[in-house]
Structure 1
């Protein structure tokens, strides 16, 4: 594999000493050897930084950056700033990858004359492994097709770690700092900058679902629900502004009502009412969503929601209680 271009792999690290060694071993053991492995220790306090340094002493491809804790987005952005590779990949430090993942993604990209390649992944828990898509199906997308598959069809996922990018795709794009769901804020913008994206449903990445991770929290958080809706809203606004798909606004309505229904299950408060009113206001920016783009029941719910939030809340709580409407 001599003469192959350099791939920079960016790994943000924060307090993952239990998982870090497995992650770094999987990256260092790649069959694609021409790697620049950028490990950004984001102010770890559990010895993770020392593990990074230990690996750097044994593998000259590893560069370790130690910084005060600024968050995962800042760590990724720091990696992007110093990356020298012609291609860019990302791995989260509590996950691991198959030995041939980057060889697979590189050849998938080059053989299909693409700018971004995508593989499937496994979902790992402490008790089992679940495969997400393993048919081997190969799909090639134009930029607009990939954005629609990402935002609307969900055939392409809003993850940054299951992909290999030509470095030019990140020109002028960085992860939003001090925010969650940062992958959702970046993927569609990167897709818009490139010509072709290729995806093959072969799982190569092992995504670990663990307690305490930034995306997995068993306790429902309405603020996270709201931020997730805002990401959907941003994506749809982008799709509409760039003329990618005229029916995309219905997804703001769909996910807006979905978020409101979940928030209404909590005791009412001024903060929650403010969140709900802002979701409704953003839904109302898209007034041309009507039947048959959405079904009649959806339109009925939306109409009631717009007209009287308190009545809508009362109906949701009534049906949640399991009571039946008395017959005349």
Structure 2
């Protein structure tokens, strides 16, 4: 009999202090409830051997599959191709699941067959301290609104998916970009599958890891987010799956705001890089400055948002440097 979940965990040289916590939280899940597929994406030999030994001793319902390095979504897709569960949960090798919420979700899925289930998540430090909680869904299980789902589609780890529907989808997970492959895969899949429910509980805990590439990405990948959104646009078609306003807003957030923030904070920022960002969004979404979401939400009222989205990047860079200087002085005990 197939388990309810296949929990797919891509692994690439994650430090033991992180992955041991990740896999420890899965010990309470029986083999009937979940199989754990750990996809080693070309890790160093020593790292892969230590992982395999740890799992053999601590998580008997896990399987390690080794493959050549291809990136996080390459590993996830490999996991999909080898999964046997009814539903797929994606889990990063440094994050955590709320096991009580997983069990409650499993009980629901035994009698119901949605294509997608979206749930809440929070962000925690490596020590488990809560930084923020994102719970966009009402309590219980409710039919998903497609527009709201699009606005909450920045990660594959915020939903679980019916395995059969994943395999029937007309495209695989987006691969080959270092920033945005998660978002573009989740958004295009969510809008393609459409039918789903929300689960009004926090199920996933993102752990902020200092060694993660997203914390300080190399300059060479800063514009990968454009390729990611180009793929969303291509997959969703000319009508944007009825969510043009939402996709446009997500592009403003991820390409202009957060993308701009990464560029400004990186070494070597220049005006040519700023021009490239606005040239892309003007071409992809000519009417983006009239997007209705620009006049709503707390984030749009922040000085940082206004400076970056209006193109005042030099002013933002100055404020960023001042903030860093003040922080350093405080740390040195001189203020």
Provide the residue aligned with 2:331 in structure 1: none
- The aligned counterpart of 2:50 is 50
Counterpart-to-counterpart distance in 1, 2:24 and 2:171: 29
Distance in 2 between the 1:100 and 1:197 partners?
A: 21
In structure 2, relative to structure 1, the CA distance for the partners of 1:286 and 1:136 (3 Å cut) is: closer
> For residue 212 of structure 2, what is the aligned residue in structure 1?
213
1:122 paired with 2:122, answer: yes
Once the 2 structures are TM-superposed, how far is the Cα of residue 192 of structure 1 from its aligned partner? 3.2
Cα separation, 2, equivalents of 1:240 and 1:262:
30
Q: Distance in 2 between matches of 1:158 and 1:292?
A: 19
Supply the distance in 2 between the matched residues of 1:20 and 1:240 (Cα, whole angstroms): 42
Deviation, structure 1 residue 160 = 1.7
What is the alpha-carbon root mean square deviation over aligned residues? 3.8
SS at match of 1:284: helix
Local SS of the residue matching 2:118? strand
Match of residue 196 from structure 1? 195
Contact 1:38 1:79 (C-alpha < 8 Å) held by counterparts: yes
Say whether 1:170 aligns with 2:172.
no
The 5 A counterparts of 1:1-328 are 5-16=3-14, 17-30=16-29, 33-45=32-44, 46-56=46-56, 59-109=59-109, 113-126=113-126, 128-133=129-134, 137-138=139-140, 140-141=142-143, 145-146=145-146, 148-151=147-150, 154=151, 156-171=152-167, 172-180=170-178, 181-215=180-214, 217=215, 219=216, 224-236=221-233, 238=236, 240-248=238-246, 250-251=248-249, 252=251, 257-258=256-257, 259=259, 263=263, 273=272, 276-277=275-276, 279-288=278-287, 293=292, 317=314
Q: Report the alpha carbon displacement of residue 137 of structure 1 after superposing the two structures with TM.
A: 2.5
Shift in alpha-carbon separation, 1:273–1:149, aligned structure 2, 3 A: same
Q: 1:107 to 1:58 in 2, by over 3 A?
A: same
Provide the C-alpha distance between the structure 1 equivalents of 2:76 and 2:132, rounded to a whole number of angstroms: 26
User: Contact 1:256/1:279 (CA < 8 Å) preserved in 2?
Assistant: no
Structure 1 length-normalised TM: 0.72
SS state at 1:161 partner = helix
- Structure 2 gaps of 5+ residues are 296-309, 320-335
Structure 2 length-normalised TM: 0.70
Cα distance change on mapping 1:240 and 1:254 into 2, 3 Å: farther
Structure 1: runs of 5 or more not aligned: 296-311, 323-328
Alpha-carbon offset, residue 27 of structure 1:
1.7
Specify whether residues 108 and 232 from structure 1 end up closer, same or farther in structure 2 by C-alpha distance, changes over 3 A only: farther
